[in-house]
A and B are shown apart, each in its own frame.
Chain A
Amino acid sequence: MPNVQEMARLIRQDIITMLAAAKSGHPGGSLSAADIIAVLYFSEMKIDPQDPNWPERDRFVLSKGHAAPVLYAALAERGYFPKEELLKLRKTGHFLQGHPDMKKVPGVDMSTGSLGQGFSAAAGMALAGKIDNKAYRVYCLLGDGEVGEGIVWEAAMAAAHYKLDNLLVILDYNGLQIDGPVQEVMNSEPLADKWRAFGWNVMEVDGHDIDELTASLQAARNTTGKPTIIIAKTVKGKGVSFMENQVGWHGNAPSKEQAEAALAELKGGNNNV
């Protein structure tokens, strides 16, 4: 398996390249989740790109569906479809939809885009795993603005009620939504306390630290009787200096020039790619 950190760097480059080609889409929340997604797809999850619908596979639901580019990049890098397809993101007639579509994209386990609903469906998948006595795990990525949706808390309550310890949620805690910082738009603090009060096993990690993420996922496997949420502190736009922590880069694609600058930065890391 390739180096996860290196994969995260490639995924970030793919995100920039495909958004520049699409001329629309969401860079901020895609970049903030790149390390999380790299860990899931290149170390944590039991999946088979040759058999996307393998019944025993681990599932992943991108509840914050607008971050589709980070998922598509991981799927392409993992071999679900050729990387060239990424350049046709959001184009008429192409299978890579603006938001994940399970009927069109191999490797997408749930159609998302309407915030809050993906998490609820992920919990349903975990319940099915319990009913069938299956070993697969269900992973889900939530946004920190997304937790404003009531359904998030309805699902949280139900997942704890049904003791879904095969469900693992990662919260992309980047502090920003569209209209501004989460704390200013609709404060959700204290977040960790809320999840604990809802009966969840809660861990707090640096969402850009591959080792910390890997270790916490490992620890979650050993937690029984309750679902786990990893609150991953991230930087929206991570890896591209002019996008980092900028609310304006939530849903705007980079121009050609901006993409070149971003790619230069992303490629200029430790080892040359």
Chain B
Amino acid sequence: MSEQQIDWKNIKKIATREAYGQALVQLGEDNPDIVVLDADLAKSTKTSDFAQAFPNRFFDMGIAEQNMIGFAAGLAAAGKIPFASSFAVFAAGRAFEQIRNSVAYAQLNVKIAATHAGISVGEDGGSHQAIEDLALMRSLPQMTVLVPADATETKQVIKAAAAYQGPVYIRMGRLAVPVLFAENYQFSIGKANIIREGQDAAIIANGLMVAEALKAAEVLFAKGINTTVVNCASLKPLDKDTILKVARQTGAVVTAEEHNIIGGLGSAVAEVLSENYPVPLYRVGIKDTFGESGSPEELLQKYGLTSTAIIQAVETVLKRK
């Protein structure tokens, strides 16, 4: 399994937001209770696909994210399954307290499907790059937080979110990212997936950093270092059993996420390890700084969200083993 090599040059790339748009249309066909809300960004979040297919179940709320979440809460209280979308900065940020009190506290069946998360937003700049949304959402009791890695997983995440009863936050991206998983891939809420196995160190990643983790694992393999790669799309509930299992097997852990190193996946893994089975840990992520304008590729380089950064992190934790 460890020799596994992906053809990175020719791999198909699809943005997770694109897969979201398609998944919504499928959901709309399967379930008449699905309704979709957007805040004047339907073409960008791809809820426009649903709007076209089911114009009577799509509601543009205008530029009013707080009100969009309030409406979603009401729709859910009256039996609908609302998906509410905007950019992650505005969905999780602007509407935070509506999400806290009207959705999470009220335990309502609202799905907050946020796109354009992280610095891979690119040229729009720091004001539009959510690096804190996962920290905000993870800190809310009752909230389920999902971060799909590719288009295949996104479709399953959307389906699982709709089937689950309760508040869910789904984080997706603007940038086209490699399609890593075949249709037979299995996502379930609360489960992390081991997608590569090795005994020397474990890399736990989510979102677009899963592809970088796999690239890093290939390079490390060539150097004689065998790593386990875990896709942790279910940030909350967190699959503690799998995290502790790979920590015990390898004795060294690296996390990788397109988010501030405060409050996201790295923090979640650190919490589990430090209380149960402390091992050397290194968190790859945005180092507590806001983003800026630039091309997504250049920004990912500049902010250290690359396979190279993961390789260095693995080499660092191995020395501390």
Residues of A within 8 A of B (CB): 22-25, 65, 89-94, 96-99, 101, 111-116, 145-146, 148-150, 177-179, 185-186
Contacts and interface: CB of A to CB of B under 8 A. Distances in A.
B63 interface: yes
B94 A114 contact: yes
A179 B125 contact: no
Given A99-B127, A186-B61, A186-B62, A92 B67 contact: no
Given A98-B128, A99-B128, A177-B40, A148 B294 contact: no
A148 to B, nearest CB: 4
A145 B64 CA distance: 10
B43 A25 contact: no
30 contacts: A24-B122, A25-B123, A90-B293, A90-B294, A91-B293, A92-B292, A92-B295, A94-B293, A96-B293, A101-B127, A113-B127, A113-B128, A114-B89, A145-B62, A146-B63, A148-B40, A148-B61, A148-B62, A148-B63, A149-B63, A150-B66, A150-B67, A177-B63, A178-B42, A179-B41, A179-B42, A185-B60, A185-B62, A186-B61, A186-B63
A179 B40 contact: yes
Contacts, number: 94
A94 B43 CA distance: 28
A22 B123 contact: yes
B128 A115 contact: no
A179 B293 contact: no
Given A92-B302, A179-B38, A114 B90 contact: yes
B94 A101 contact: no
Contacts of B124: 24, 98-99, 113
Nearest to A114: B127
Nearest to B124: A98
A23 B127 CA distance: 19
Contacts of B63: 115-116, 145-146, 148-149, 177, 186
Given A97-B292, A186-B62, A178 B40 contact: yes
A254 to B, nearest CB: 15
